[in-house]
Amino acid sequence: MSEAGFASSAETTVTVDGHGLPLWLLLELTYRCPLKCPWCNNPLDFDVYREELSTAEWIDVLRQGRALGAVQLGFSGGEPMQRRDLEELVGEATRLGYYTNLITSGMGLSQTRLGALRDAGLKQIQLSLQAMDADLNNRLVGAEAHAHKLAAARAIKAYGFPMVLNVPVSRHNIGEASTLLDFAEELGIEYVEFANLQYYNWALVNRSDLLPTREQIAAAERVVAERRARLGRRMTIYFVISDYYDDRPKACMKGWGNIHLTIAPDGAALPCQEARVITGLEFPNVRDHALEWIWRDSPVFRKFRGEDWMQEPCRTCPERGHDYGGCRCQAFLLTGDAAATDPVCGRSPHHHLVGEAVAMAMADRRSNGLIMRQRGFNVA
């Protein structure tokens, strides 16, 4: 016990420092999904990856991950409800001592399966919803999904799960914040996350048709501030700004290979969900290697870990310990060099690229429509 005082301040009680442990394990169980969201963060060639890990292989990943110190576990996709063995995997994760999160569109989340997931020990569910306006919601996801999503939200709360309502925010639905919050309040949803889209994969393809204006973002922030003031601790509202409108980069994944580990449907181990956008990296696969080697020693996970890889201006920047140079994937997508400073940073020599992308999006306001997620998409 400390001599200075028995109970220290809250600041010193909180840390996300994993001390080298992969605290967060995210399993992308499948890339299959009945929706066609034009901001999907799955790879553009998602349909190429057909050999999903088997139930036994996923269970082996779960055991290895827990032994390495993973605590938070996400089941994601694609749509994870597409896997018929989800309940079995959740049950095994519960036995191993994970805190289990299901990240779902609500498609396929029947009452029967909700009950089975609860019995398997699932801790919380994150449900995505785009709008309370059914036509708008269905147009954005490319399917008749709205009624299913609302029913899923009600069922999740009826079964007593804590719930995160996730709203992927583009210029098409940013004006829906108020009605979505009404719905969340009515249901007693504990967390609402307005996640301004991050521009990778499908969202990057559609960037000019998705990026909101500064004015739209400011208006939504006012709505959120008013709700926070009124609802207090009854609801936690996150508002994740689009980093295109920031001049400080996000502390992406709290650093590459620091606390986060994603396993893709085919068993590829990724330092973040988007990492496959960086070409030239050979991602280690859990079918070939032990998870401990992948995490500690594989070249990909070591590549941008720590600070040795940094160039100027990151190398001598006083912020480098806080933002880790921003996002490696974004650096690669916008500059062609994954080791460059994230161009979102005002100190990046490539910062003008972000401003130009915003200007293009504002001027263009394309009328040829959103490109929905689809098979056989020609990347070139």
Partner 1 sequence: MSNGAPLQRSDVVELDPRYLFRWEERQQAYVLLYPEGLVKLNATAGAILAEVANTAEIGVLIDNLTEKHEQQDIAGDILEFLEQSHERGWIRIKR
Binding site for partner 1 (CB under 8 A): 1-2, 5-10, 12-17, 19, 21, 23, 68-69, 71-72, 74, 99, 101, 123-124, 126, 162-164, 190-191, 232-234
CB of 290 to partner 1, least distance (A): 17
The contacts of residue 321 (CB under 8 Å, 6+ apart) are none
| Beta carbon of residue 324, minimum distance to partner 1 (angstroms, whole number) | 19
Q: Which is nearer to partner 1, 143 or 165 (CB)?
A: 165
Q: Which residues pair with 76 in a beta bridge?
A: 28
Please say which residue, 12 or 368, places its beta carbon nearer to partner 1. Answer: 12
Burial class (CB in 10 A: 0-12, 13-18, 19+), 132: middle
Using DSSP, state whether 165 is helix, strand or coil.
strand
Q: From the CB of 190, what's the least distance to partner 1, in Å?
A: 6
Q: Rounded to the nearest whole angstrom, what is the least distance from the CB of residue 67 to partner 1 in the complex?
A: 8
Closest CB 5 distance from partner 1, rounded Å: 5
Tallying the residues shown for the chain, one arrives at 380
The per-type count for the chain, helices as H runs and strands as E runs, is 15, 9
Q: How far is the CB of 66 from partner 1 (least distance, A)?
A: 9
Closer residue to partner 1, CB minimum distance, 73 or 180? 73
Alpha helices by DSSP H, the chain: 10-13, 55-67, 86-96, 111-119, 134-141, 146-158, 177-187, 201-205, 207-210, 214-231, 291-296, 299-303, 320-323, 328-335, 351-364
Could you tell me the smallest distance in angstroms from the CB atom of residue 22 to partner 1?
11
Q: How far apart are CA 63 and CA 59, in angstroms?
A: 6
Half-sphere exposure at residue 332, Cβ-oriented, CA atoms within 13 angstroms: 16
C-alpha pair distances (Å), 352 with each of 181, 279, 295, 330, 332: 35, 23, 35, 14, 15
Residue 157 or 172 having the CB closest to partner 1: 157
